[in-house]
Amino acid sequence: MLSTGGKDNSRKYSASSSFFNEEQVVTCNQCGLQYINPRLKSEVILKGYIDGTDEDYVSQNEGRLLTFERGLDLIEKYAPKKGKILDVGAAAGFFLKVAKENNWETFGVEPNRWMCDYGNKNFDVGIKQGTLKEAAFPDNYFDVITFWDVLEHASDPKSELIEAHRILKHGGLLVVNFPNIGSLLARLFGRRWWFLLSVHLYYFSPETLTKLLTKTGFKPFKNKLHFQKLSLGYLAYRLRPYNPLISNALRFLIDGLCLNKLQVIYYASQLNTLSLKE
């Protein structure tokens, strides 16, 4: 798995710039994994993440904090104990803020400089700028490691999980959140599925992720649907690339009713997979 660089694949979706994914999505005929083809070089991908800002992301801090409170509740239900927790691809540090407030010792890695600075300045949660391997954490160091919406962005997910396995304590908990291409919504929307983005290099299903986790030394034991909270106005805004007419109409109605900041819970076809280090 993840050595699929040859021609042993079949096309799932053709290239389309209308819905962000400008490359084609193919399926590996050996393991069933779906991925972008052709793939950019890892150094090109990483360079794209290092610079830039994302004011839209941090503008939704209330909803993201509420979402991560639910995520931490799930972790604390299955984690062996409270201790050191690492968030890989920590973004602006919202999850780590929630964890710190609940007496976890927090660590994060994030390639984007602006996000790192934001999280450390506002929340003081210990985010290192760079990649997981560059952080060079000690062996068997963490009680919990999380990948929230990250693994599908990685140029080599297998290497990321191997490194996570090295630094996670024996019996430690790994949480991987990902867009489930095997979900009913993904199958219904097909190439119009909103997670078909050029920045998503791999598309996992529970089956293909389980294979990868098992190969890298983890024992998956639980899949849970992932529900998020964001403001109603922001969700209407995010609808714009798919249907500008409906998006504008909804935004006009929401503004008129003063519901722009109303936090709503929704399911977008994401899944949380929990695993233990064997």
pLDDT digit string, tens, across residues 163-185: 999 999 999 999 999 999 999 99
CB proximity list for 244: less than 8 A, separation 6 or greater: none
Among 104-113, 221-230, 256-265, name the most confident range: 104-113
Domains of the chain by start residue, with CATH: 9-277 (3.40.50.150)
Judged on CB neighbours under 10 Å (0-12, 13-18, 19+), 21 is: buried
Beta bridge partners of 25: 13, 36
* Structure confidence at residue 4 as a pLDDT band (50, 70, 90): very low
Taking the C-alpha atoms of residue 113 and residue 156, their distance in angstroms, rounded to an integer, is 21
Q: What angle do CA 250, 253, 254 make, to 5 degrees?
A: 85
Contact 206, 180 (CB under 8 A): yes
Contact 21, 13 (CB under 8 A): yes
pTM: 0.86
What is the Rg, in whole angstroms, of the alpha carbon atoms belonging to the chain? 19
Helix (H/G/I), strand (E/B), else coil: 42: helix
Q: Which residue has the higher pLDDT, 164 or 241?
A: 164
Q: Which residue has the higher pLDDT, 100 or 21?
A: 100
**In this structure, what token pair is assigned to residue 228?**
């998020």
Closest CA to 116 of 124, 136, 260: 124
pLDDT in tens, 9-39: 666 655 443 444 456 889 988 888 999 888 7
